[in-house]
Amino acid sequence: MHVAVLGPGALGCLFAAHLADAGTDVTLVGRPGEHLAALREDGLRFTDREGETRTLDVAATADPATVAPVDVVLVTVKSYATADALTDAEALLDGAAVCTFQNGLGNAETVAEFVPEGDVLAGTTTHGATRERAGHVRHAGTGETTVGRYFALTDERTRDLAARLTEAGIETSVTDDPRSAVWQKVLVNLGINAQTALARVENGALVDSNPGERLLERAVREGAAVARADGRDVDTETAVERARRVAHETASNRSSMRQDVEADRRTEVEALYGEVARRSLELGIETPVVSTLADLVRLTETGYDRR
C-alpha cells in the first residue's frame, strides 16, 4: 500500500511516522516552507509516547505529481485549506481512496467535490500530536481512531486501511456510521480546543480545574443538542465523559487550536465552533457558550497583526 499524507502538520506527521516505522510506503505532501524543508533534508524527527526521539526516513515533497500513483490519500490539512490542497494535489487523486482526518464538519463533502463519492472515507482520531519545531513532532497522547466510507457501505479498502493503521500502532476500528463518528469528534473538539487556545493551557487543565471542567462540559452539552437535532444519535453524558477522557489522555498536549493561536496562524474555528453555532441557529437551539468561544477566537485572530 502506497499512502500519501496531504498536510505534514503534527497529525499528518504522526500518521506518517507510525506508517513508515511499520514498513508502509508513505510520502508527506505539503507546501514549501521551513517545516517541509527540514523534513526533506533531515528526515522526520519523531518523539514517541515513551519520550524516545528518533529520525525516520520519510519522503516529503511539495510536488504531488512526483508521488502518484497512490492507493490512499490521508487528508490532514486544516479544514479551511481542503479545497485548495485537493486542487493542487489532483494528480494524487485518480483511483485513490481519499480519507479525511480533519477537524470539523463538512470536510467529507468537500472531498466529494474532487473524487467520486465511493472513494471518500472519513476518519476520526483523538490521538494528540504537537509540532515541537520544524521537522520534529511529538506524540502527545493516545486515543481512539475510526474510519468509514462516508457515502457508501464499508468496503475492502476501508478495512485494509484500518488494518494497516492498526498494524502501525494506531489502533483503528471500521465504522458503518462515520457521520456520527465525525460529530463525536467535533464534540470532543468543542470541549477542548478554544478553551485551551484562549487560556494558553494544556489539555489536562480542563479536567484538573473547576473552570476548565465547566467550560468543557457546557460546550459539549450545547454541541450534543445540536448534533441530535441534526439527526445524530448522541448521548450527552457519554459525549461529556468522552471529552473528559480525551483531555486526560492527552493531558500534556497543546491542542491544535492553541498551537495555531500561539503561532499567529488562522485557526479552524469556523469548521468547529462557527459551524455548530450556525447550525444551532437553523435548528432553533441556543448555544451561548459555543457561540461566545467562536467569537473570542475570531477576536484573537484579529489581533495577530497588532502583536
18, 127, 139, 185: which is the annotated catalytic residue? 185
Beta bridge partners of 136: 45, 133
- CA distances (Å), 33 to each of 38, 54, 60, 93, 258, in order? 9, 22, 12, 23, 21
Cell 444519535 belongs to which residue?
233
Residue 97 main-chain phi, psi, to 5 deg: -80, 130
Query: Which burial class, exposed, middle or buried, applies to 231 when counting CB atoms under 10 A from its CB (0-12, 13-18, 19+)?
Result: exposed
Q: Has 78 been annotated as catalytic?
A: no
Cell of 255: 491542542
DSSP conformational letter for 206: G
CA within 13 Å, CB half, 131: 23
Q: Which residues contact 128 (CB under 8 A, 6 or more apart)?
A: 139, 140, 141, 142, 143, 203, 249, 250, 253, 255
Q: Which residues contact 133 (CB under 8 A, 6 or more apart)?
A: none
Q: Which residues are catalytic?
A: 185
